[in-house]
Amino acid sequence: MQSKAREALLHYLNKTLETLQVPQKWKKARIKLLHKGKGKPIDELESYRPIAVLSTVLKLLCTIINRRIQKYCEDNNKLADAQIGFRPNRRNK
């Protein structure tokens, strides 16, 4: 991504976090039907499964928020020691 585009996106995401106002167009999902695969007739609705296609910018914003929350929880010991899933340097024995 070009540096000007990256700076503009960063500014927009920071403004969204500051104001806590997520643009309406980011909140809309498009529903797409995916064919389940071989052996399934293409002319029957049961041969398809729906997926929601979300805004890439919203997914990026959610990733940023999630990482900040995870870091806060790790840095401030907010998670129980038994909580090992999806945590750095932890594994099931």
- Mean pLDDT taken over the chain: 92
Query: For 64-71, what is the mean pLDDT?
Result: 93
Does residue 82 fall inside a structural domain? no
The pLDDT value given to residue 93: 62
Expressed as residue numbers, the domain containing 48 is 3-75
Residue 38 lies in a domain: yes
- Is residue 9 scored above 90 in pLDDT? yes
Is residue 5 within 8 A of residue 20, CB to CB? The reply is: no
Asked if residue 92 belongs to a domain, the reply is no
Question: Averaged over 74-81, what is the pLDDT?
Answer: 92
Q: Is 83 a domain residue?
A: no
Cα 47 from Cα 91, distance rounded (Å):
38
In this structure, the number of other CB atoms found within 10 A of the CB of residue 16 comes to 17
10: nearest Cα among 56, 67, 59, 61? 61
69 domain residue, yes or no = yes
Residue 48's DSSP bridge partners are 35
Domain count, the chain: 1
- Report field, pTM of the whole predicted structure over 0.75: no
Residues 6+ apart with CB under 8 A from 28: 55
